[in-house]
Amino acid sequence: MNKKYTVTQAVSEKMTAKAVKSGSLRVLATPVLTALLEEAACGCLEGLLEEGMTSVGTEISVKHLAATPVGMTVTATAELLSLEGRKAEFALRAEDEQGLIGEGTHTRVAVAAERFQQKADAKGRAV
């Protein structure tokens, strides 16, 4: 497959570990890094899914290797390794201006968007 998609974002105060309560420092939070990588994976699937379909993340493994301060730019890239049936597998990589800051793998599964949302909404009403 060899399709790639990249998301670029300058780190703001709202993206820090302190702001999202995943730590006390003013550096890019791991949950935010993970979200940027997942956004890149979603972008990788654009145009590959049938009408009415979307994808949901089912597994993600991310190593956050280096801190990125507010103001630096993060580039998150997902590479589609395979798309077999409904299952998509990705290699993930994130960098800032100084080099590699994160890497990992991700799995997404294609689902019927409307049906999936209806089932989730029904689950919420059952509580």
Any idea which residues carry the catalytic annotation?
30, 38, 64
Strand 73-84 and strand 99-112: pairing? unpaired
> Cβ-count burial of 106 within 10 angstroms (0-12 exposed, 13-18 middle, 19+ buried)?
buried
The partner residues of 55 in beta bridges, in order of sequence, read: 110
Provide the terminal-to-terminal Cα distance of the chain, rounded to the nearest Å.
42
